[in-house]
Amino acid sequence: MSYRPNILLILSDQHNPHVLGCAGDRTVRTPNLDRLAARGVRFSSAYCGSPLCGPSRMTFLTAQHGSDICVWSNGCVLDSDIPTFLHPLNDAGYRTVLCGRMHFNGPDQRHGFQARTIGDIGQARYPAGVERKLLGSIPQATVGQSRAAVEVAGPGRTAYQAYDEAVTDAACRFLNEWDRASASQPSPWSWASCSPTAPSSARPASIHTISTASTSPAFRMAISTASTRRPLPTAGAGNSTP
């Protein structure tokens, strides 16, 4: 393999494919993703292998159905003897690096990645009750597709947002250091966030921007109602395991 390009994989969580400027959404602001789409190929008919976070990521990494790898829920553990697409990349001479969320359960926190620049958040292997304490102010009932998640939607800042900011900072530092080192070894690099997973909260300025950009009266009324709710307490970055 004479030519080995660098690979940067950006993975967001629970991101509706239609909520992108390049997909025709006139309200949301995604300029960086829009630029990537304009310079490359957008697979508008692609879909994930599972509608749930953990299984979806594991099917993506292994190119197998969740039923084939025994990963059906967010609490399942991917066996370490199951190959992921990282293993052939390692064999081809790449340095594989992960930064951020990948929902690995169990002791194996790499599954083919040679390194991690920052750990995951809220691992399922911790005793019951510990995870949510580490996630600060995020109540258990608000992290899924539920009425509670909708009722708390509005201005605020959660541990998920703080974690994503820490992931972004770590990613930028790594890429800058790797670029300065002029490394001859190509790198497939994965940046993975928790957002925009529930609960759906954002900075007041961001909510105002979306509200003023929307042409839907019903949507603007919903945003206006959410903006009057009591903000979620500011939370720290929560747990981050290597």
Catalytic residues: 53, 103
Alpha carbon 202 to chain centroid distance? 16
Paired residues of 190 in beta bridges: 9, 98
**What gap in Å lies between CA 77 and CA 54, rounded to an integer?**
9
Q: What is the 3-state secondary structure (H, E, C) of 181-231?
A: HCCCCCCEEEEECCCCCCCCEECHHHHHHHHHHCCCHHHHHHHHHHHCCCC
- Phi and psi, residue 31, nearest 5°: -60, -40
**What gap in Å lies between CA 132 and CA 43, rounded to an integer?**
36
Three-class SS state of 97: strand
